[in-house]
Structure 1
Amino acid sequence: MRIVKTRGRDEIRRLREAAYLELWPPAQQLEALQDAANGQPDKKACMEADFAAIKERLPYPDAQ
């Protein structure tokens, strides 16, 4: 018999949020958004790529 533990949506949401904040604290997120609004999208693009990697690493159970 094999036991498989699957993470629920709430647990995945918490893990994603922690990962987002670890890589991009709120001040850095705001800076990236402000820079993008001022015509410098590089930081925002990097942030979005990091967030996409986190989403790929931590998919929701029903999205697999």
Structure 2
Amino acid sequence: MTDSDGEVRELTAADAKYFKPATEVLPPALCERLGLTLSEKGSAAQPPGSAGERLRKIR
């Protein structure tokens, strides 16, 4: 992601709405190794203590 000057910028919450679940973009073997599984809605279910869970706690 770059700004109007072409410099790399920080990702924002607005950028996150365009993200795809990891299970849609990573190879199945890597998802398995990371402990990611598909939830009923088809999105990645984070394993307990995952990076996503820790980030939510920080904010």
Same-fold status (TM-score > 0.5):
no
Instruction: Give the TM-score taking structure 2 as reference length.
Output: 0.30
Higher-strand-fraction structure: 2
Q: Answer 1 or 2: higher relative contact order, Cα 8 Å, separation at least 6.
A: 1
> Which structure has the highest helix share of the two?
1
